[in-house]
Structure 1
Amino acid sequence: MANEQTTKLAVLIDADNTQPSIADGLLAEVAKYGTAHVKRAYGDWTGTQLKSWKEQLLTQSIQPIQQFSYTSGKNATDSAMIIDAMDLLYSGRFDGFCIVSSDSDFTRLAARIRESGLIVYGFGERKTPEPFVAACDKFIYTEILAGKPDEEQPLKPRPPAQLKKDGGLINLLRNAIDAASDDEGWAGLGGVGSIITKQRPNFDSRSYGYGKLSDLIAAIDLFELDRRSPGEGRPKAIYVRNKKKPVARG
């Protein structure tokens, strides 16, 4: 698999099912995972329904793909997007796909792309059906990406006391740390994050109000963090382990 700097991605947007206000945040998020060599948005551009998308097409250099609404509903748009995705997959030019929709119709597409050994990043609203979320390697909720001041504000960080009461979160972190740890219990944060994503594709520390996984773990205060320098001029690597329980004395 290519590294993040050279990873070639195809970004396919279901414009009928996605708000144009997330375009800036969406492409900024995509840039974290690779380079968008293809950016396409699908819908019926002859009508007025997608009028607010048209400015984003120009600003973000997104190619509109026309699909006439032959019947009511979005099936025609979905089919066109799926056919295009398969054509791009068979071209062998890409390392991964970004599928932007909250529609469960793309569940099988995501699974098929992954079967070919490519990575799939899904983007959709929190209403996205669980099967589509689970079919992706990683799923990012678009509510997190709404970045304009007049829209939804970033989530406030949850207080440590509330985080500690979230048994599902604590168990997820503990188990991932245990799975990635060495003999002394230390685990590289990157490995921990990778395990968490495999278990829960929609996990995102920003959902708890923290920009990074390390910030979330530090706030919980049930884990030890250690920043180590791998060598001169290289960024420090973060390691984490579960805090040892105090030994009871009789």
Structure 2
Amino acid sequence: MNAPALRTAPVVIFDLDGTLIDSAPAIHRVSNLVLADFDLPPLDADTVRSFVGKGTPNLVRQLLEASGKDPEGAIFDEVHDRLVARYEKEVEGNTLYPGVVTALEALTEAGFRLGICTNKPYRPAEAALHHVGLFDTFEALLGGDSLATRKPDPAMLHHVHRQLGGGPMLYVGDSEVDAETAVNARAPFALYTEGYRKTPVADLPHHATFSDYAALPGIAERFQ
């Protein structure tokens, strides 16, 4: 008699900013510290929050443009390098969304393997996860500077999926970029509605939505 085939463990891959952690206050603080380094005026929290999600190069371009500077100008590299350097150390203001820890514990106990796919650079992502006590919860972490491309290119999501063994996958995110990434990767997508999206929920492609993390383990079970 043939032995039964071993079942590959299911996978849940998360975005980070606006999905697991509210990082907008930290990003706002760091952004204004860097702008001050270049004698540029501070920007309000809502403005900086609207720049989050497409990686630090885009964030810096938006900061410069909002400050009346050429977003592709000579100071771009210096501003970018200084922002990333500060971002690795200035972790205050990163906070977990309600219910995240309990939901992650439930997923782990149910046999899911967990990973993160974020456009935030790897080192700041690592620092933020250590700050909120989640770093050891995830088996894989890919940052926006880890590969040659970043979301919404599906390569990042595929890479994390392979690292986690390639089992049935659910991608969890909060934004337009995350929804587009899931479409490009042909992956089931659960939209966390309390993050940083600007588009109405009905206008974003998704397979499930949730506003309370208590609902996520049940959603994940549906996509095994």
Q: TM-score range by the shorter chain?
A: 0.3 to 0.5
Q: Name the TM-score, length of structure 1 as normaliser.
A: 0.37
Ranked by relative contact order (alpha carbons within 8 Å, sequence separation 6 or more), the top structure is 2
